[in-house]
Amino acid sequence: MIFSRNEIMPGVALNCLTGDKFKTSLFTVSLLSQLTREDASSDAAVVSVLSRGSSSYPDMEKLSARMEELYGSGVNPTVRKTGEIHSVGFASYFPDAKYLPSGESVTGDVISLTCEMLLNPVTRGGLLLPDYVEQEKTVLLDRIRSRINDKRTYAVSRCIEEMCAFEDYGVSSIGEEKQAESIYYTKLTKHFRKLLSESPIEIFFVGSEDPDEIACRLSESLFTLPRGNINTDIGTDVRMNSVEEAPRYTEEVLDVGQGKLSIGFRLGECMEERNVAAISLFNAIFGGTVTSKLFMNVREKLSLAYYASSFTDVAKGIMLVNSGIDSSNYEKARDEIFAQLEAVKRGEISDYEFSAARAGLSSSYRMVSDSPQSLEGFYFQRMLEGEDISPNDRIEDLMNVSKDDVVEVANSVVCDQIYFLKGTEGSDNE
Amino acid sequence: MNNMEHKDYTRIGEKVFSGVLPNGLRIKVIEKPEFVTGYAVFATRYGGAWRRFRLDGELIDTPAGIAHFLEHKMFDMPDGENALEVLAANGANPNAFTASDVTCYYFESTESFEENLRMLLKFVSTPYFTAETVQKEQGIIGQEIMMGEDSPGNRIYYNFLKLLYSSHPIRDEIAGTVESIAGITDQTLYDCHRVFYNPINMVLIVEGPVEAEKIYDIALETVTAECGTMPEADFGPDEGTVPHERFREEAMEVSLPQFLFGSKIKPEHGDLLLKQKLTATLSLNLLLGTSSGFYNGLYKKGLLNPGFGYDTDFSCDLGTIFIEGESRDPSAVFERFREAVKDVCENGIEESYFKRIKRALYGSLIKSLEDFEGVCLSLMDGMFSGYDPMISAQCLDSVMPGDCLDFIKENLSDDRLAMSVINPVKNGDAGNV
C-alpha cells in the first residue's frame, strides 16, 4: 500500500493508503482540537449528535438504512485521544467494488454521506435539535459513568486521572461528568461551528481507488466546509518530574474479589530528546510482553497476578503498570514491580530479553501493513506527532538501539502515582 | 506429490487448500503471498463443557475447569522452557483460549513462520506436567477466576445460561472454581491430553504468506502421534427448547442495570447449520438492527444506547441467542422486544427491508475476510461441525424472508425467552456481603 498525503483545502489533509490488497475499504474523517477538561465531552457529543441525522437522512433509521444500502456497517462516530490532542469524527468500512455484485464502487457515495453528516446536520433555526442533544447527552453521561463496570480499565483510568489531576491529559477521551451535564443545544451548536471552522482535519482513505479521484470527490463534498482561523497550535504538554517528591497514593475500596494495582510513572528527562525506539524497547523489556520482567516474575515466578504489564504513551511521556492481585498481596506485588524496574535500571537485561523484546516490536510494526485499521491508526498517529516516518523506519530505529539506551530510559523514569483498588474479600480474609 | 487439494471461491476471491495426515489430523491452508503476517491455529475439539465423556465404551468424569487448566499447562516443555516465551522471543504473538467445546493454540508472526509453526505443533503435542507446576498454576488460575467473578459481563452470561439449561455443563464457568481446580493433578492432565489431543480429534488451519504443501510437510514431520480413538462427549439429557427458569437478577458494582435475554434453539447439522446461522443473524438484524423500529424507538426514549448488541452461539449440540445491553428499565426493553416479535409474526417482513439488511450482512461477510484469525476460527468451526463457511455469501442468497419469519416465530416466541439482569448495588449494600 502506497502512502500519500496532500492538503486539499486549508487545514484539510487527505492521507491515502493505496493498493488492492484489501477487500474492504476504510474511510475516516477526524477533527483535531486541544484536549481540555471544559471541552472534551462537548467534542464527543458533537459527533454523536451529528450521527443522529443529516439534512437528507434526518434520523438514525434513515442514516442507517442509507449505509445498509451501501453494504456498509455504518458511519460510526469516533473519539480518540493522542497525548493531549483530541480527535473526533467518523469511520466507515465498506466492500471494494471488486466484491460487489454490480461491480460498481460505493466509495463516492460513502464519502458524500460522511461529508453531509459533518456539514449538514438536521437543524431547526440553525441550531442542532434539542431532542437529539439531550438524548446524546444522556448516552454520553451513561458511558462516562459506566467505566466502573470493568474494574481492570477502571483502575487504569483512575490512576491516570489522579496522576494527571492538574493536566488535561487526566481527562478521558469522552470527558467528565460535570462538564457533560452542562451540555445544552445552543452552546453545543456554537461549539460544533467552532470545531468545524477551526479544527485541522485529517482524512484517511485506505483502498484501491486513486488518491486523485478521492481528492476530487472530497472537494465536491466539502465545498461548503467553513474554514476560519485554523488552530495549528495543538499539542501535548510533557511533564518530566513527579508532582510531589514521593509518589502519591490513592486507595479506593469496592465490593470486588480481586484488587487492582495501577502505578503511574513519568518517563522523565528522556522525553527532552525522546528516542521512541529506546522507550518502546524499555517498555517491552520491563512489562510490555510475555517475555518481560513483570510477566516472568510477578505472574509466572511468584503467581501474584493473572496479569501484570506496562504500557507507555510516548506522546505524553508516561508509563502505567497494571496488575490484578489478591488485595492481601498489595505490598508484595508493589515491591516486586519496583524491584523489577530497579533491575532494568542496573542494566540487568539479558541478551535474550533484549532480542526477544526487539523481535516482538519489529514484528508488530511489520504487521501494520496487513490491515486497513492498523495502517490508518499508525499513520494517523504519525501525522499528529508531525513525524514523517513509516513502519519500516521504526524497525530500522529499533536496530540502532543499544542496551545502554534502554538503561538510560529506565533511569529517567520517575514514579508519580500509586492507585490501589482494594477488594473487600482478600483483605478481610487475611 | 500433492497432498493438499484446493477449492476456489471466486466470488469472494479466496482459495482454500485441504488435506489430511495419515494419522487423521485435518489441515486447511489459505495462501496469502501479498501479506506479511501469517496466522496458525492448532485446535482440539475439547473444551470446558467436556467434563464427562465416553471412551471405548467407558464413562469418565473430570473436574470442572480441567480443559482450561490443561491449556495453561501445555506451554511448559520438558526441557524447562516455556513455549509462550520461546515463540514470543522469536517475534511471534502466541496465545491460547478455551471455549466450551474447543481449545485453541495460535500465533501470528511475520518472520520465521515455519519455525514458529513447528514449535506450535510440538508443544501442543508434548505433555509435560509435574505436581509442583500444577500447584503453582492453581494460584494464577485462582486469580483469573476471581477476576471473572468481578466481571458483570461474565456473571450475567453464566446466570443466563443457568436460566436456559438445567444440567448441561455449558452452564458452568469454563475456568471452573477455586475448589474444583484444587482437585486437578498432573495425572489427570496427562490422561486428558492423551484422550483429546490426538490427531483425529484436532485440526490445523494456517493463513498467510505460506505454501500449502510446505505446511502439510511440516505437520507430517511434527505431529507424529498415532491415530487414536475419537472421544465422545456426554452432555447429559436433551434439554428441549423451553428455558429451565425465566428470570434471575443480582446486584453488582455497575452504573446502570445490565440485561441479557434470549432463547435456546435446536441446532441443525452440516450445511443446514450454516444456513441456520445466517438465518439467525439476518433475523436478529431485521428485528433489532440499527435501522429497526425496535432499536430506534427505545433509543429515542433513552432506554437503549449504542452498547446494545446481540449474537448467536452454536456449540456443544446447543444453539443460543443472546440479546444484551444496559438500560434504566430492562423489563421495558424486554416487553418491547416481545411486541416487536409479535408484530413481525403478524405482519411479515417487507421485501425491500429484507433486501437492504441482506446487503449490509453481505458487506460484513466481506469485511470478515480481512481478519485472518476470524477466518481460521470459522474454518475450524466448520471442520468440527461439518460445513464450509467460505460459501456463506452463496448460502446467504438462498435465505428468504420466509426463512427468517419461520425462525423468529419458532425461536423467539414468549414461552422461549429468559432474562438475566445485573442491577447496581444500592447505597449501603457494598461490603455487607
Average pLDDT of span A336-344: 97
Q: How confident is the model at residue A429 (pLDDT cuts 50, 70, 90)?
A: very low
For chain B, how many structural domains are there in total?
A: 2
Residue B223 sits in the same domain as residue B277? no
List CB contacts (< 8 A) between B252 and chain A.
Answer: 255
Q: Taking 60 as the threshold, does the pLDDT of residue A428 lie above it?
A: no
pLDDT value at residue B147: 83
Residue B193 sits in the same domain as residue B83? yes
In a domain, B238, yes or no: no
Residue B256 sits in the same domain as residue B216? no
Give start-end residues of each CATH 3.30.830.10 domain in chain A.
2-221, 248-429
Q: How confident is the model at residue A299 (pLDDT cuts 50, 70, 90)?
A: confident
Q: How confident is the model at residue A101 (pLDDT cuts 50, 70, 90)?
A: confident
**Cβ <8 Å between A356 and B152:** no
Residue B294 sits in the same domain as residue B360? yes
If you count them, how many residues does chain A have?
430
CA distance B201 to B212: 21
Residue B224 sits in the same domain as residue B252? no
Does the domain at A2-221 match CATH 3.30.70.1060? Answer given as no
Beta-carbon pairs below 8 A across chains A and B? 191
Average pLDDT of span A8-12: 95
* Angle at B1 (CA atoms; ends B13, B197), nearest 5 degrees: 75
Residue B15 sits in the same domain as residue B64? yes
Share of chain B above pLDDT 70, in %: 98
Q: Taking 70 as the threshold, does the pLDDT of residue A430 lie above it?
A: no
Query: Cell numbers at residue B253, please?
Result: 458494582
**Cβ <8 Å between A73 and B34:** no
Quick check: A376 and A206 in contact, CB under 8 A?
A: yes
Say which CATH number the domain at B213 has.
Answer: 3.30.830.10
Residue B281 sits in the same domain as residue B218? no
In a domain, B242, yes or no: no
Residue B72 backbone class (left: φ over 0; alpha: ψ -120 to 50; beta: rest):
alpha
Residue B30 sits in the same domain as residue B155? yes
Mean pLDDT of the residues in chain A: 94
pLDDT value at residue B223: 96
B270 at the A interface (CB within 8 A)? Answer: no
Q: Which of B95, B107, B143 to mutate to test the interface with A (most CBs of A within 10 A)?
A: B143
B392 at the A interface (CB within 8 A)? Answer: no
**Cβ <8 Å between A21 and B431:** no
CA distance B233 to B50: 6
pLDDT tens digits, one per residue of B238-280: 999 999 999 999 999 899 999 999 999 999 999 999 999 999 9
Q: Which of A24, A363, A378, A429 to mutate to test the interface with B (most CBs of B within 10 A)?
A: A363
Closest partner residue to A289 among B82, B88, B108, by Cβ? B88
pLDDT tens digits, one per residue of B337-359: 999 999 999 999 999 999 999 99
B331 at the A interface (CB within 8 A)? Answer: no
List CB contacts (< 8 A) between A296 and chain B.
Answer: 85
pLDDT value at residue A307: 85
In a domain, B185, yes or no: yes
Nearest-CA distance A371 → chain B (Å) = 7
Q: How confident is the model at residue A331 (pLDDT cuts 50, 70, 90)?
A: very high
In a domain, B432, yes or no: no
Residue B320 sits in the same domain as residue B397? yes
Return the closest-CA partner of residue A24 out of A205, A207, A203, A204.
Answer: A207
pLDDT tens digits, one per residue of A191-249: 999 999 999 999 999 999 999 999 999 999 999 999 999 998 999 999 999 999 999 99
pLDDT tens digits, one per residue of A261-277: 999 999 999 999 999 99
Domain A248-429, second-level architecture = 2-Layer Sandwich (3.30)
B237 at the A interface (CB within 8 A)? Answer: no
Considering only alpha carbons, which residue of chain A is nearest residue B299? A135
In a domain, B259, yes or no: yes
Residue B91 sits in the same domain as residue B164? yes
Q: Taking 50 as the threshold, does the pLDDT of residue A74 lie above it?
A: yes
pLDDT value at residue B430: 43
Average pLDDT of span A164-185: 96
pLDDT tens digits, one per residue of B11-31: 999 999 999 999 999 999 999
In a domain, B433, yes or no: no
Closest partner residue to B88 among A64, A253, A291, by Cβ? A291
Which residues does A183 contact at the CB level (< 8 Å), separation at least 6?
A: A41, A42, A45, A133, A137, A140
Residue segments in chain B with a per-residue pLDDT below the cut of 70: 427-433
List CB contacts (< 8 A) between B430 and chain A.
Answer: 254-255, 424
Residue B300 sits in the same domain as residue B418? yes
Which residue range forms the structural domain that includes residue B224?
5-233
Q: Taking 60 as the threshold, does the pLDDT of residue A427 lie above it?
A: no
Residue B87 sits in the same domain as residue B212? yes
Residues 151-170 of B with CB under 8 A from A: 151-153
